[in-house]
Amino acid sequence: MSSLRTKNLSRRRFIGLSSCALTTALVGSQVTVLKALAKSGDVSHTTPLPTQDVFTSCGMCVNKCGVIARVRDGVIHKLDPNPNFFAKSRAMLCARGNAGTKVVYDPDRLKYPLIRVGARGEGKWRRAGWGEALDLVAKNMNEIAEKYNRASMMFASTEGTFSEHFFLQLAECYGSPNTLRHPTLCLSSNIQGFAATFGTNPTPDVRNADYIIMSGANRAEALITPDSIDMLKGDGGRRKLIYLDPRFTKTAAKADEWYPIKPGTDMAFILALINVIITEGLYDDDFIEEQTVGFAELQAHIQQYTPEWAEKECEIPARQIRRIANEFANAAPKAVYYQGRRSSFFSNDTQMRRAMAILNAIVGSWDTEGGLLPNQKIALNKHDFLAPWYDDVHERLDKGGAAYLSEKDGSWPIFRERALVAEPYPIKGMMVYKQNVLVSVPDRAKSLALMKQMDFICTIDITMSDTAWYSDVVLPEATYLERLDPPEGLAGPVPVVAFRQPCVEAMFESKPNLWIMQQIAKRLGSEIYATFDFSMEEHIDHLVKKNPQILTDLRNKGVYIEKTEPEYGRFTGKRLRTRSGKIELYSAKYAKKGLDPLPVYRSPEPVPVNKYRLLVGRHAYFTHGTTANNAYLHDIMPENSLWLNPREAKKLGLRNGQRVKVKSAVGEERLKLEVTEKIRPDSVYMAHGFGVLSKGLSNIKGVGGSDAALIESKYCPISGNAAMHETFVEISPA
Ligand SMILES: Nc1nc2c(c(=O)[nH]1)N[C@H]1C(S)=C(S)[C@@H](COP(=O)(O)OP(=O)(O)OC[C@H]3O[C@@H](n4cnc5c(=O)[nH]c(N)nc54)[C@H](O)[C@@H]3O)O[C@H]1N2
Ligand SMILES: Nc1nc2c(c(=O)[nH]1)N[C@H]1C(S)=C(S)[C@@H](COP(=O)(O)OP(=O)(O)OC[C@H]3O[C@@H](n4cnc5c(=O)[nH]c(N)nc54)[C@H](O)[C@@H]3O)O[C@H]1N2
Ligand code: SF4
Ligand SMILES: [Mo]
């Protein structure tokens, strides 16, 4: 095994082989490619076939697991897990990670810059040269700045590529504060709730915890490494996993106990656990005394939340709540109430996450083996640049829309609401990088309306996503297996640094994001370009300047790691990044803002008669709404269906497999019905990623229904995080 840079295959030969392979790859599988190669005469039968094993990181989801790409004859033959990456990915590649080769050799991938010629969304395109396409982007950006304001250009992006940084740099240098990042569709409430309590969003030490409660975190399907693997470690019955989900998921199947909790009531369950732990004196006295503030206030506040009260809300029996509270406290500090990642469930999500944080704190599950660990990353040298100054730029459009709105991430639902009425100013241009707005932001009709009012839309993607389909210019980025991407520290119980190096030459005319950003910057003027005047190699050298060993290890092992086991007690005697410097059970900061300083329970809106609550969530084969068209994954799951409990199906006279109409206040979709005991009678569920608008996704066009078209736009008023489970739907035969 060796890195790209140390192989003896000459570059000239490598390029020759790969370009031959690549034209063939367009029409068939890798096998066809290899056969064609063998026949083409390019491959000499007297010399052994060239072989390369390239260390890189998976780009199929946020986890960035370590990969060894097996490159044969200039074609990526197979992707294997990198055992050196054990600390983060436990030497695993999931189904999606394995299917990564199909991202490169996908006939549907974007090949050239495209310029729209028909009406928006009509799908009529003209192939353009990079020069022409980039000129058009820069021209429109300049016009919007002149006609309106620099803030009238919005920049939507999602992490997962390591090089989103350059896109954000472009936004900053152009002079727009309006960056719309994925956290408000994902984990903003989590970050907010835990940071308000601990000053950081901690990492659970799942591997060493004896008792884990997971609610709204389906780790066996919604993979987060290393948690997904670590939670499965049963050790002679020592380990207990309690799981709460309105659906019987794969995680439920792996758990010791599963409770089909009533959606939106987790906070009642958690508050009741706190109530039992406090009233029965099961908390960690010394820890609370030394490391927390506000216990007296919590003690008084929690009296009302008895298990008997909670049972009526969450439908988990009071005696089970008492037992679980006792078991949890006895296992502490090796006990975690697992905070999960996506917290775009209900509008009370930040306070629900606060309750989780408080529960962990009162049993001392903090900075200790098997508990919550302060978030840590291996720091790299910062990339500083001097952005041009503009006198007349507006503040964020969504400013003040939520109590703690992130300046960098914004809030998609709030932003779009204001943009649609041009209040306080119009939004006229849209740059999109690796975000699928029409699929990932609830209430698709509103996103379409937003796009309709734009003077200009440019999307940088690897495939013809719905958002690309509705754009004016579409720019093809090289896929993650074709790019050199900068090193990045990944948080975890054991932090690591990962990076990407190209396994094959970028196909067709696709280009890495840094190059695209540089070319746009060049056209926007010398002051902006000055901040981009470096090569990726120079950028990487800069990032590892303080510790060049990082790069050496990345090249030789595919990962940089400083220790193999988690470190505990790092914060002993140190101030936390909260106002008091301690864990804030009672949040004085929230009180001052007029927010509940302790979590106050409010019942979710009841499900109206003849309606169902729509739930969304992951499944193991796809990443968000993005990978359903991947040929390998499509094979495993060709379409989505609507889960409905048999009791309700009978009531509605519907049968398994029939097509149904699902109608919410904002949309209507048709898809197949799946009658299953795996869901509560008051809820329905559908997987994400189907019902696409784009006709450039051959495998899934016209198949299944879109959840984004049905979900109403609601959000948490503290974090601005979207609330995706507050939509009710009616079901009828299609
Ligand atoms: N395979 C795969 N893995 C992924 C991703 C992916 O797209 N595909 N995406 C990654 C990303 S970005 C994220 S944010 C994470 C998301 O990770 P998770 O948040 O764990 O995943 P979800 O499946 O979105 O939601 C979890 C579960 O919550 C349940 N649920 C709904 N309402 C309630 C409720 O009120 N209470 C409780 N207790 N449960 C409820 C749903 O039925 C669902 O099974 O996954 C990451 N991992
Ligand atoms: N209905 C519903 N909506 C949701 C969720 C849900 O469960 N249900 N989950 C929410 C969550 S937790 C999250 S994190 C968000 C995520 O949603 P998004 O932020 O939209 O992210 P993705 O869906 O991962 O990818 C978006 C786009 O990136 C493109 N892409 C993939 N790789 C590359 C690359 O290397 N370069 C470029 N330029 N583009 C690339 C894909 O083709 C896709 O069009 O969705 C949120 N929205
Ligand atoms: S969890 Fe799967 S898709 Fe995500 S980075 Fe790891 S291997 Fe890739
Ligand atoms: Mo997410």
pLDDT in tens, 455-470: 999 999 999 999 999 9
Distance CA 691, CA 439 (A): 9
The conformation of residue 679, written as its DSSP 8-state character, comes to B
All structural domains of the chain, each given as residue ranges with its CATH number in brackets, are 114-186+381-561 (3.40.50.740), 203-373 (3.40.228.10), 612-733 (2.40.40.20)
233, pLDDT greater than 80: no
Distance CA 595, CA 718 (A): 8
Task: Give the tokens for residue 244.
Answer: 């709460």
- Give 603's pLDDT tier (boundaries 50, 70, 90): very high
Give mean pLDDT, residues 640-668.
98
Distance CA 541, CA 533 (A): 14
Angle at 333 between CA 322 and CA 299, to 5 degrees: 55
569 Ramachandran zone, left/alpha/beta (phi>0; psi -120 to 50): left
Place of tokens 């409660």: 213
What type of residue is 2?
S
SS (H, E, C) 293-322: ECHHHHHHHHCCCCHHHHHHHHCCCHHHHH
Q: Is the CB of 275 within 6 Å of ligand 2?
A: no
Task: Give the tokens for residue 256.
Answer: 């010791």
Task: Give the tokens for residue 233.
Answer: 């470690």
484, pLDDT greater than 60: yes
Pairing assessment for the beta strands 429-433 and 153-157 based on DSSP bridges: parallel
CB atoms within 10 A of CB 6: 9
529, pLDDT greater than 50: yes
- Give 47's pLDDT tier (boundaries 50, 70, 90): very low
* CA nearest ligand 1 atom 27, residue: 216
Distance CA 347, CA 429 (A): 29
SS3 assignment, position 199: coil
Nearest-10 Cα torsion for 216, 221, 224, 230: 100
Q: Is the CB of 707 within 6 Å of ligand 2?
A: yes
Q: Is the CB of 33 within 6 Å of ligand 1?
A: no
Confidence at residue 238, expressed as pLDDT on a 0 to 100 scale: 61
What type of residue is 314?
C
Q: Which residues contact 249 (CB under 8 A, 6 or more apart)?
A: 218, 220, 221, 617, 678
The runs of H, that is alpha helices, within 618-703 are 631-636, 646-652
Q: Which atom of ligand 3 is nearest to the CA of 94?
A: 2
Confidence at residue 235, expressed as pLDDT on a 0 to 100 scale: 60
The conformation of residue 635, written as its DSSP 8-state character, comes to H
Question: Quick one: which of 522, 479, 524 has its CA closest to 502?
Answer: 479
Task: Give the tokens for residue 326.
Answer: 């006792």
Confidence at residue 137, expressed as pLDDT on a 0 to 100 scale: 98
Q: How far is the CA of 465 from the centre of ligand 4 (A)?
A: 18
48, pLDDT greater than 90: no
Better pLDDT: 133 or 29: 133
20, pLDDT greater than 70: no
| C-alpha Rg value of the chain to the nearest Å | 26
Q: Is the CB of 688 within 6 Å of ligand 2?
A: yes
Place of tokens 């309006």: 178
User: Angle between the 164-174 and 513-524 helix axes, to the nearest 10 degrees?
Assistant: 10
Distance CA 212, CA 222 (A): 17
Q: Which atom of ligand 2 is nearest to the CA of 618?
A: 7
CA atoms within 13 A on the CB side of 447: 29
Are the CB atoms for 255 and 232 separated by under 8 Å?
A: no
Burial class (CB in 10 A: 0-12, 13-18, 19+), 400: exposed
From the CA of 60, the nearest ligand is 3
Confidence at residue 236, expressed as pLDDT on a 0 to 100 scale: 54
292, pLDDT greater than 60: yes
How far CA 67 is from CA of 81, 324, 498, 563, 619, in Å, comes to 5, 40, 10, 20, 22
175, pLDDT greater than 90: yes
Are the CB atoms for 372 and 365 separated by under 8 Å?
A: yes
Q: Which atom of ligand 2 is nearest to the CA of 708?
A: 1
79 forms beta bridges with 69
- Give 84's pLDDT tier (boundaries 50, 70, 90): very high
Q: Is the CB of 613 within 6 Å of ligand 1?
A: no
Tell me the pLDDT tens digit for each residue of 117-138.
999 999 999 999 999 999 999 9
Residue to probe by mutation, ligand 2, list 167, 346, 435, 438, most atoms within 8 Å of CB: 435
- Least confident segment among 49-63, 215-229, 402-416, 440-454: 49-63
- Least confident segment among 28-37, 159-168, 271-280, 581-590: 28-37
Residue to probe by mutation, ligand 3, list 57, 82, 218, 223, most atoms within 8 Å of CB: 223
Give mean pLDDT, residues 642-654.
98
Confidence at residue 626, expressed as pLDDT on a 0 to 100 scale: 87
Average pLDDT in the chain: 92
Distance CA 730, CA 588 (A): 43
- Least confident segment among 28-32, 302-306, 557-561, 562-566: 28-32
DSSP for 323-348 reads HHHHHHHHHTTSEEEE--S---S-TT
Give mean pLDDT, residues 59-79.
95
Q: Which residues contact 187 (CB under 8 A, 6 or more apart)?
A: 201, 341, 342, 343, 344, 721
* CA nearest ligand 2 atom 1, residue: 708
Give mean pLDDT, residues 339-350.
96
How far CA 140 is from CA of 124, 132, 224, 416, 458, in Å, comes to 20, 12, 39, 21, 10
Task: Give the tokens for residue 270.
Answer: 């958690």
Angle at 74 between CA 73 and CA 78, to 5 degrees: 85
Burial class (CB in 10 A: 0-12, 13-18, 19+), 643: buried
- Give 237's pLDDT tier (boundaries 50, 70, 90): low
Q: Which atom of ligand 2 is nearest to the CA of 466?
A: 44
Task: Give the tokens for residue 415.
Answer: 């932003």
Tell me the pLDDT tens digit for each residue of 135-155.
999 999 999 999 999 999 999
From the CA of 432, the nearest ligand is 2
Q: How far is the CA of 101 from the centre of ligand 3 (A)?
A: 13
Distance CA 23, CA 12 (A): 17
Confidence at residue 3, expressed as pLDDT on a 0 to 100 scale: 30
* Range 541-580 burial, b when 16+ CB lie within 10 A, else e: ebbbeebeebbebbbbbbbbbeeeebebeebeeeebebeb
Tell me the pLDDT tens digit for each residue of 191-211.
999 999 999 999 999 999 999
